[in-house]
C-alpha cells in the first residue's frame, strides 16, 4: 500500500483538462482514458529519458523521469509522465517493482506493480488463446495443413519461469478425423513483455491498426512451407474483445499528485522497450510537456524508440535526458559493487568511456540532449566537479539531480536545463534515421552494430543464415529490425563492460514478427523467458490483512 496520501483520480485528471465524464475509474485512484481524447496532431513537447549501460545498482531512469515531471509541474508547466507498466516477472525476480523510488514514484505502487488494471493479464490471455486455437485447429483435422514442426508462435506468461523455455507436448487427433495423426510438438514460452502481442499492443496506433496487426501475426508454416497467418483462424474479433478495454491507456498519479499515463510494457533488451504509442500520443494531446522513458541504455531503448516507434510514426522527440551515476561509471571501469561508493577519480575517468559512447549514440540521431547525474548520498563534490569539468571540455553542462530523496526540489536544475534546451533548439527537425526505410536486413543490422554498439563486424550462426534465407525468400526484408541482446554490454557478452571496441556481434537466429512488423535478431545467449535469481524479491514481500508492502 502506498505510504503517501493519494488524491482522487478525477482530481488528477482535471490537471489535464478532463472531467469525470472523460475517465473510466478503476476504483478511487486509477482510471482508463478513451482513445477519443487523442488529437490528430498533438502539440505536447516530448522528453525521452534514457541512461548509460545498466548495472546491478540501477541508474534511476524511471525515478528520474518521474522526478523531472514533478519538477516541471512545480515550475507551473502543464506536464504528464508517460511510462511503461511493470511486469510481474522482474517484480517478483530481481527488481521488486518498477514505479520509481523514494520521493519520486507513481502511486498506488502496490497495485501498479501487480495486477494494475489487468492489461498484462488481457495480453497474456489473448496470446494463449491464439496458441490454444492453433493447436485445436490441428487437433480437429488441420484444414490449413499446418506443419506442427514449423509452429513459430509462442505462448506467454508474465512471470520468470526458466522451465517453460522449451517443452514438448502431443496433439493426438480424434478417431473421427480421417487419416488420424499424432504429432509430437515442441513449444516455448516468452515472458509476456517479450511477446509479439505486447509489441503489437505498444506499436498500434488505433483499434483499426490493432486489428490489422493481429491479422498479420505469423503462426506457422504449412506442409508446403507457406506462411500461415492468424487471420486464417478467424479469431481476431475474439482477441479484440479481450484487448478492447486494455488498449485504453491508464491514468495514475505521482507522489506529488501529478498525472502519469502508464500503458504497455515491452522489455527493451528483447523487444521494443517503450510504453505504448497511443499513451504517448494521448499524453501529448493533453499536456504541454510529456516525460517518457525507454528501457535500459541508449544502445537498446533509445535506438528502438527512434527506429521502431518515433521514425515510422513521425513522432518528434524534443529533448533526450541521458541519466548516469558516479557509481555506475565506476562499475563500468571494473570496480566491485562494494567499491563503487568510494571516491575514485581514476575509475571515474575510465568509466567515462561508457558515458561518451551513449552520448555519441544520441548524437547519431541528431537530437538535443541533456546529461543528468543521478546523485547519491555517497557521491563526493570532488567527483561531481570532475565529471562537470570533463563534460565542459566537450561544450556540455551537467545537470545534477537527487529526486530519490528530494523529488521535484532535487530536479529543479534538470527541469530548467531541459526547458532551456527545448526552447533554444525548437527548430531542430525530427531525429535522423540511420538507414533508409527500404534498406535490406543486413544493412540495418550492420549499421546498428557499428554505429550504435561500436562493433567491427557481424557474424551469423548457421541457424541465423537459414532464417535470413527464409526471410529473403518470403520478401520480408523491408520490415524493421529489433535486436535482442544483453543490456549489460554494448556487445552480446554481459561481462564485457565499459565501451568495448574491435568486437563481433554474434547473431544466433532471426524471428519474424509480422504483426509487429519487425524482425528480431537474437544475439549471444539472450533469453526471451528469464529465470528467477537465487533469492527472488518474492521472498522479501509481506502481505498483511490491510496492505501489500513491496
pLDDT digits (tens, 9 = 90+) for 18-32: 999 999 999 999 999
Q: Is 111 annotated as a binding residue?
A: no
Residues 442, 427: Cα–Cα separation, whole Å: 33
Take residue 134 and report the three cell numbers written for it: 492453433
Q: Is 56 annotated as a binding residue?
A: yes
- How many residues does the structure list for the chain? 550
Q: Is 93 annotated as a binding residue?
A: no
Which three-class secondary structure state does DSSP give residue 237? helix
For residues 330-353, give the mean pLDDT: 97
Q: Is 59 annotated as a binding residue?
A: yes
Q: What is the pLDDT of residue 549?
A: 54
pLDDT digits (tens, 9 = 90+) for 292-322: 999 999 999 999 999 999 988 889 999 999 9
For 120-239, the fitting CATH number among 3.40.220.10, 3.30.1510.10, 3.40.50.300, 3.40.50.2000 is 3.30.1510.10
CATH number attached to the domain at 12-118+247-425: 3.40.50.300
Mean residue pLDDT across the chain: 95
Q: Is 443 annotated as a binding residue?
A: no
Q: Is 61 annotated as a binding residue?
A: yes
Kindly list the distances between the CA atom of residue 509 and the CA atoms of 288, 475, 515, in Å, as whole numbers in the listed order.
43, 18, 19
Cis peptide preceding 108, ω within 30 of 0: yes
Burial class (CB in 10 A: 0-12, 13-18, 19+), 139: middle
Q: Is 100 annotated as a binding residue?
A: no
Domain chopping of the chain, boundaries: 12-118+247-425, 120-239, 441-523
pLDDT at 550 over 50: no
**Phi, psi at residue 50, to the nearest 5°?**
-130, -170
pLDDT digits (tens, 9 = 90+) for 387-415: 999 999 999 999 999 999 987 899 999 99
Q: Is 57 annotated as a binding residue?
A: yes
Residues 37, 31: Cα–Cα separation, whole Å: 14
pLDDT digits (tens, 9 = 90+) for 93-150: 987 788 999 999 999 999 999 989 999 999 999 999 999 999 999 999 999 999 999 9
How would you label 150-185 residue by residue, b for 16+ Cβ within 10 Å and e otherwise? ebbbbbbbbbbeeebbeeeeebebeeeeeeeeebee
CATH fold of 441-523: Formyltetrahydrofolate synthetase; domain 3 (3.10.410)
* Alpha-carbon dihedral 385, 390, 394, 397, rounded to 10 degrees: -20
Alpha helices in 322-408 (DSSP H): 326-332, 345-364, 381-392, 403-406
Q: How far is CA 126 from the centre of its chain?
A: 20
Amino acid at each position: 500500500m502506498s505510504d503517501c496520501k493519494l488524491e482522487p483520480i478525477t482530481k488528477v485528471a482535471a490537471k489535464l483538462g478532463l472531467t469525470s465524464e472523460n475517465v473510466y475509474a478503476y476504483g478511487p485512484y486509477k482510471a482508463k482514458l478513451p482513445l477519443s481524447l487523442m488529437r490528430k496532431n498533438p502539440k505536447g513537447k516530448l522528453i525521452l529519458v534514457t541512461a548509460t549501460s545498466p548495472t546491478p545498482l540501477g541508474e534511476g531512469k524511471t525515478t528520474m523521469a518521474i522526478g523531472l515531471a514533478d519538477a516541471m509541474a512545480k515550475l507551473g508547466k502543464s506536464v504528464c509522465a508517460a511510462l511503461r507498466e511493470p511486469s510481474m516477472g522482474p517484480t517478483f525476480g530481481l527488481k521488486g517493482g518498477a514505479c520509481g523510488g523514494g520521493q519520486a514514484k507513481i502511486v498506488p505502487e502496490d497495485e501498479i506493480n501487480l495486477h494494475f488494471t489487468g492489461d498484462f493479464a488481457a495480453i497474456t490471455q489473448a496470446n494463449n488463446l491464439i496458441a490454444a486455437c492453433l493447436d485445436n485447429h490441428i487437433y480437429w483435422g488441420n484444414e490449413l495443413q499446418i506443419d506442427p514442426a514449423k509452429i513459430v508462435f509462442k505462448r506467454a506468461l508474465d512471470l520468470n519461469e526458466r522451465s517453460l523455455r522449451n517443452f514438448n507436448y502431443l496433439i493426438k487427433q480424434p478417431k473421427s478425423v480421417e487419416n488420424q495423426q499424432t504429432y509430437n510438438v515442441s513449444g516455448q514460452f516468452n515472458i509476456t513483455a517479450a511477446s509479439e502481442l505486447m509489441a503489437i499492443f505498444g506499436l498500434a496506433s488505433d483499434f483499426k491498426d490493432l486489428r490489422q496487426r493481429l491479422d498479420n501475426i505469423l503462426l506457422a508454416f504449412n506442409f508446403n512451407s507457406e506462411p500461415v497467418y492468424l487471420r486464417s483462424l478467424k479469431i481476431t474479433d475474439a482477441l479484440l474483445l479481450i484487448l478492447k478495454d486494455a488498449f485504453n491507456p491508464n491514468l495514475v498519479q505521482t507522489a506529488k499528485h501529478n498525472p502519469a499515463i502508464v500503458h504497455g510494457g515491452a522489455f527493451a533488451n528483447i523487444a521494443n522497450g517503450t510504453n505504448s504509442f497511443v499513451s504517448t500520443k494521448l499524453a501529448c494531446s493533453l499536456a504541454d510537456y510529456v516525460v517518457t522513458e525507454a528501457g535500459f541504455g541508449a544502445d537498446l531503448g533509445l535506438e528502438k524508440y527512434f527506429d521502431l516507434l518515433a521514425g515510422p510514426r513521425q513522432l518528434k522527440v524534443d529533448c533526450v535526458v541521458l541519466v548516469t551515476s558516479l557509481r555506475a561509471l565506476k562499475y563500468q571501469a571494473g570496480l566491485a559493487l562494494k567499491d563503487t561508493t568510494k571516491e575514485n577519480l581514476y575509475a571515474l575517468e575510465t568509466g567515462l568511456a561508457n558515458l561518451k559512447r551513449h552520448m555519441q549514440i544520441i548524437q547519431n540521431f541528431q537530437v538535443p540532449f541533456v546529461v543528468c547525474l543521478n546523485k547519491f548520498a555517497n557521491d563526493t563534490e570532488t567527483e561531481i566537479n570532475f565529471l562537470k569539468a570533463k563534460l565542459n571540455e566537450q561544450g556540455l553542462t551537467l545537470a545534477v539531480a537527487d529526486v530519490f530523496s528530494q523529488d521535484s526540489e532535487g530536479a529543479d536544475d534538470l527541469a530548467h536545463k531541459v526547458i532551456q534546451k527545448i526552447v533554444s533548439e525548437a527548430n531542430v527537425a525530427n531525429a535522423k534515421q540511420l538507414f533508409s526505410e527500404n534498406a535490406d536486413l543486413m544493412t540495418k543490422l550492420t549499421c546498428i552494430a557499428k554505429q550504435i554498439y561500436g562493433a567491427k563486424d557481424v557474424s551469423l550462426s548457421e541457424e541465423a543464415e537459414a532464417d535470413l534465407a527464409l526471410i529473403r525468400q518470403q520478401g520480408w526484408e523491408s520490415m524493421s529490425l529489433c535486436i535482442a541482446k544483453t543490456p549489460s554490454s554494448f556487445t552480446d557478452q554481459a561481462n564485457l563492460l565499459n565501451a568495448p571496441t574491435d568486437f563481433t556481434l554474434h547473431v544466433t537466429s532471426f524471428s519474424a514478427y509480422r504483426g509487429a512488423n519487425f524482425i528480431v535478431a537474437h544475439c549471444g545467449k539472450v533469453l526471451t523467458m528469464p529465470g528467477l535469481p537465487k533469492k527472488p524479491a518474492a521472498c522479501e514481500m509481506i502481505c498483511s490483512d490491510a496492505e501489500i508492502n513491496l
